Chains A and B, each alone.
Chain A
Amino acid sequence: AQKVTQAQTEISVVEKEDVTLDCVYETRDTTYYLFWYKQPPSGELVFLIRRNSFDEQNEISGRYSWNFQKSTSSFNFTITASQVVDSAVYFCALPSTSGTYKYIFGTGTRLKVLA
């Protein structure tokens, strides 16, 4: 069975601190994709990144970086020099093998960045 685990329910940091959000997944597929989405207080989920299982290079986009490690089935997300605007719920997601149209979402990590 496929599964996505985000063990951190809520994290609070002070502005300018670095923070890492963990995502651990389970899949029997040899080829798969992983996603991160951000849900700000407005409620609308915003796509952040997609990673395929063939590419284990770390991805960096501004203050955001992602560390994908197949050996530990993890796809962690780091925010460097956090800002108040980063406060949101972050979801990790894995498309289901039972149908290409279904995503398995983690339960999300609520990040609070305090000024």
Chain B
Amino acid sequence: DGGITQSPKYLFRKEGQNVTLSCEQNLNHDAMYWYRQDPGQGLRLIYYSQIVNDFQKGDIAEGYSVSREKKESFPLTVTSAQKNPTAFYLCASSSSGLSYNEQFFGPGTRLTVL
């Protein structure tokens, strides 16, 4: 079945550590996104990528980094520079980045800083 997978489902990090969240899609979609969700809030865009080897900062990119070396993969690294990384992280993709395309979401990764 086509879809988006994220791993791990739960992740615990010590302060000062970098961690990488995985996102893989087999939908052959060009565009991929990372969102952060905090309790009681909507989704905030961290980074997005329209095509391979290209990505753009979203609204809250500070303390995060991404890569897009393959069409199907868009990993997110949460660096030690991110002051408050505890949150629920969602990866999404769409066939293109055009506004009429719906986004497909993965199951999310819940990151907790100890």
Give min CB distance, A47 to chain B, whole Å: 4
Contact indicator B90/A91 (Cβ below 8 Å): no
Contact indicator B45/A102 (Cβ below 8 Å): yes
Closest to A46 in B: B105
Residues in B with CB closer than 8 Å to A43 are: 88, 90, 107-108, 110
Contact indicator B48/A52 (Cβ below 8 Å): no
Give min CB distance, A65 to chain B, whole Å: 19
Complex interface residues of chain B between 4 and 56 (CB less than 8 A to chain A): 31, 33, 40-43, 45, 48, 50, 56
Give min CB distance, B93 to chain A, whole Å: 11
How does the 8 Å CB contact mask read for A83-115 relative to B, with 1 for contact and 0 for none? 000000001000100011111011110000000
State the interface size on chain B (CB cutoff 8 A): 27
Given contacts A33-B99, A101-B48, A101-B56, contact A9 B40 (CB under 8 A): yes
Whether, in the assembled complex, A42 has its beta carbon less than 8 Å from a beta carbon of chain B, the answer is: yes
Judged by DSSP, the binding face of B is: loop
Residues in B with CB closer than 8 Å to A32 are: 99
Contact indicator A106/B42 (Cβ below 8 Å): yes
Whether, in the assembled complex, B98 has its beta carbon less than 8 Å from a beta carbon of chain A, the answer is: yes
Given contacts A43-B88, A43-B107, A44-B105, contact A102 B48 (CB under 8 A): yes
Question: Residue B97 contacts which of A47, A52, A101, A105 (CB distance < 8 angstroms)?
Answer: A101
Residues in B with CB closer than 8 Å to A100 are: 97-99
Residues in B with CB closer than 8 Å to A103 are: 43, 45, 103
Instruction: Name A residues whose Cβ lies closer than 8 Å to a Cβ of B.
Output: 4, 9, 32-33, 35, 37, 42-47, 50, 52, 91, 95, 99-103, 105-108
